[in-house]
Amino acid sequence: MIKKEWILIIIFLGWIFRNFERIVNRCKKEYILSKMNQKGDKIYIGDNCHFTPKTISLGSHIYIGANAVFQSVHGFIEIGNHVMFGPGCHIHGGNHDFHEIGKYIDESGNKNQGDDGKVIIEDDCWIGSNSIILKGVRIGKGSVIGAGSIVTKDIPPYTIYINKLTPIYKNRFNFDEINKHESILLKKNNEN
């Protein structure tokens, strides 16, 4: 049986290691943010996230849940303001040119694909957990992407998109509600 003193030492060491891990994670996140192509303020990044920061532009008031992967070596990722990502979200901009005859897949072209490889997520969007967003997609202002969705085509503004067996598109607001929503947000932004 373990003596009481040893249990206290183990608990204390656990506390030290856990706090050290938090400090290291905070330093990693700040380093990643410092390498972003462009960034606003009030950005939260969850634990265990992976980014290609030089190809990513972030607006302000961004929340990125744990285990996110935002990578785009051959394209760009632009994220607007007031955007939330649940845990496990993936964004993959760009792609390899795997149509090159006489080359193995790992030798395929790594050229910048410009707008074809760009992913744009406009302001005021919510991307549900474990969603996957692929190259060349624009998610319109005010849209909501349901958890687990795979987005391969543009999403119009103020759309709720749920991709299960058959994609479902719903309007978040009607036309009058969109005008009211945007005028309230405009007034709110002008006050700040």
Question: Are 75 and 37 a contacting pair, CB within 8 Å?
Answer: no
φ, ψ at 44 (rounded to 5°):
-110, 130
Catalytic residue from among 50, 61, 90, 96: 96
Half-sphere exposure of 167 (CA within 13 A, CB side): 12
Question: Which helix (H) or strand (E) is 180 found in, with range?
Answer: helix 175-191
DSSP 3-state of 12 = helix
Burial class (CB in 10 A: 0-12, 13-18, 19+), 32: middle
Cβ atoms 84, 104 nearer than 8 A: no
Point out which residues pair with 69 in neighbouring strands: 50, 90
Pairing of strands 167-171, 159-163: antiparallel
Active site residue 96: yes
What residues act catalytically? 96
